[in-house]
Amino acid sequence: MSSSLFAFLHHLAAFTLFAALFTQLVLMKHEIDAPLARSLLRIDAIYGVAAVALILFGAVRVHFTEKGTAYYFHSATFIAKIVLFIAIGLISIYPTRRFAAWRRDLKAGRAPVLEPAVRGKIRGAIHLELALLALVILCAVLMARGIGYFG
């Protein structure tokens, strides 16, 4: 039962992370006013919590479920999945820092100013995160079928 529970929580975190990223992408199409900037900050916080939950529940699954640690660390697709997730995390630093910088403007009661080039970079980063997340899902599917297992 606990194996199923942690699988459910891991997948719930993954879907939440995807939803947060996709929502950020959609909202970044609009003119950034103060309410939208606050929403993006909240969504980015949800994204961060989902990422941490995904890592924690994933670690529990790796160490305490029926397959065992050896299975996962002898899987090229698992290793690729981890590397891709790390890349997503590193890419996410740019949008998160840009959103966090808006707090000063919001505290002063004004909407943040977002130049078109910066908007494009943020949207590009989010697009790349979503594309890499699709590859993470592919790796998960392959891993679950034993593809990429060595040893």
Q: Does residue 35 belong to any structural domain of this protein?
A: yes
Residue type, 60: V
- Which letter, b or e, does each residue of 97-130 get, where b requires 16 or more Cβ atoms within 10 Å of its Cβ? ebbeebeeeeeeeebbeeeeeeeeebeebbeebe
Per-residue pLDDT of the chain (151 residues; tens, 9 = 90+): 688 999 999 999 999 999 999 999 999 999 999 999 999 999 999 999 999 999 999 999 999 887 889 889 999 999 999 999 999 999 999 999 999 999 999 999 999 999 999 999 999 999 999 999 999 999 999 998 999 999 8
Total residues belonging to the chain: 151
Q: Which residue(s) pair with 55 in the sheet? A: none
Question: Could you list the residue range(s) of the whole structural domain that residue 69 is in?
Answer: 2-144
| Residue from 36, 35, 46 nearest 119 by CA | 36
Q: Does residue 98 belong to any structural domain of this protein?
A: yes
What is residue 41's predicted lDDT score, i.e. its pLDDT? Answer: 98
What is residue 127's predicted lDDT score, i.e. its pLDDT? Answer: 98
Q: Does residue 103 belong to any structural domain of this protein?
A: yes
59: domain CATH number is 1.20.120
What is residue 22's predicted lDDT score, i.e. its pLDDT? Answer: 98
What is residue 66's predicted lDDT score, i.e. its pLDDT? Answer: 74
Q: Does residue 151 belong to any structural domain of this protein?
A: no
Residue type, 14: A
Which pTM value belongs to this model? 0.94
Whole-number Å distance between alpha carbons of 145 and 126: 29
Q: Does residue 100 belong to any structural domain of this protein?
A: yes
Q: Does residue 149 belong to any structural domain of this protein?
A: no
What is residue 65's predicted lDDT score, i.e. its pLDDT? Answer: 80
- For 50, the token pair is 């989902």
Q: Does residue 21 belong to any structural domain of this protein?
A: yes
What is residue 26's predicted lDDT score, i.e. its pLDDT? Answer: 98
Total number of domains in the chain? 1
What is residue 67's predicted lDDT score, i.e. its pLDDT? Answer: 82
